[in-house]
Amino acid sequence: MRRTDTLRGLVRETELTPAHLIQPAFVIAGEGIREEVPSMPGVERFSINNLVEEAGEVATAGIGALMLFGIPNAKDEFGTGAYDDEGIVQMAVRALKDAHPDLVVMTDVCLCEYTSHGHCGVIREGSTEVDNDISVELLAKTALSHAEAGADAVAPSDMMDGRVGSIRHQLDEEGHSGVPIIAYSAKYASAYYGPFRDAAESTPEFGDRRGYQMDPANAAEAVREAELDLEEGADMVMVKPALPYLDVVRRVKDATGAPVAAYHVSGEYSMLKAAAANGWIDERAAVVEALTSIRRAGADAIVTYYAKEAAEWLR
Ligand code: PBG
Ligand code: ZN
Q: Can you give the three-state secondary structure of 215-260, one letter per residue?
A: CCCCCHHHHHHHHHHHHCCCCEEEEECCHHHHHHHHHHHHHHCCCE
Q: What is the mean pLDDT of residues 284-313?
A: 98
Task: Return the ligand number nearest the Cα of 114.
Answer: 2
In ligand 1, the atom with minimum distance to the C-alpha of 192 is: 14
**pLDDT-derived band of residue 166, with 50, 70 and 90 as boundaries?**
very high
234 lines ligand 1 (CB under 6 A): no
Cα 197 to averaged position of ligand 1 atoms, centre (Å):
7
Q: Whole-number mean pLDDT of the chain? A: 96
Which ligand 1 atom is at minimum distance from the Cα of 209? Answer: 10
Atom number of ligand 1 nearest to Cα 267: 14
4-33 residue pLDDT tens:
999 999 999 999 999 999 999 999 999 999
Please give the single-letter amino acid code of residue 289.
E
Lowest mean pLDDT among 106-110, 123-127, 131-135: 123-127
Specify the 3-state DSSP secondary structure of 157: coil
**pLDDT over 70 percentage in the chain:** 100
Residue closest by Cα to atom 7 of ligand 1: 193
Tell me the residue type at 272: L
- For ligand 1, whether the C-beta of 268 sits within 6 Å is no
- Amino acid 71: pLDDT: 96
Q: Whose alpha carbon is nearest atom 14 of ligand 1?
A: 193
Cis peptide before 38 (omega within 30 of 0): no
Best substitution site from 27, 193, 245 to test ligand 1's pocket, by max atoms within 8 Å of Cβ? Answer: 193
Strands (E), the chain: 21-28, 34-37, 40-47, 65-71, 105-109, 153-156, 182-187, 236-240, 260-264, 301-304
Nearest CA among 89, 193, 111 for reference residue 159: 111
Q: Indicate if the pLDDT at residue 200 is higher than 90.
A: no
Ligand 1: residue of 135, 157, 213, 268 to mutate (most ligand atoms within 8 A of CB) is: 157
Residue 166, ligand 1, Cβ within 6 A: no
pLDDT score at 202: 85
Ligand with smallest separation from the Cα of 214 = 1
| Cα–Cα nearest to 249, from 195, 291, 309, 306 | 291
The CATH number assigned to the domain with range 12-314 reads 3.20.20.70
With 90 as the cut, is the pLDDT of residue 198 above it? no
Cβ(197) – ligand 1 distance below 6 Å: yes
| pLDDT over 90, % of the chain | 94
Q: What integer pLDDT is reported at residue 201 of this predicted model? A: 85
Q: Which of the residues are catalytic?
A: 187, 240
What pLDDT shows up at residue 111? 96
State which ligand 1 atom lies nearest to the alpha carbon of 195: 14
Question: Does residue 193's CB lie within 6 angstroms of at least one atom of ligand 1?
Answer: yes
Q: Which atom of ligand 1 is nearest to the CA of 193?
A: 14
CA distance 272 to 265: 11
The answer to which of 100-109, 119-128, 222-231 has the lowest mean pLDDT is 119-128
pLDDT at 205: 87
Q: Is the pTM above the cut of 0.85?
A: yes
Q: Cα-flanking dihedrals φ and ψ of residue 28, to 5°?
A: -125, 165
Tens of pLDDT, residue by residue over 207-226, are 889 999 999 999 999 999 99
- pLDDT tens digits for 59-116? 999 999 999 999 999 999 999 999 999 999 999 999 999 999 999 999 999 999 999 9
User: Could you list which residues have their CB under 5 Å from ion ligand 2?
Assistant: 110, 112, 120
Mutation choice for ligand 1 from 240, 268, 271, 294, CB with most ligand atoms inside 8 A: 240
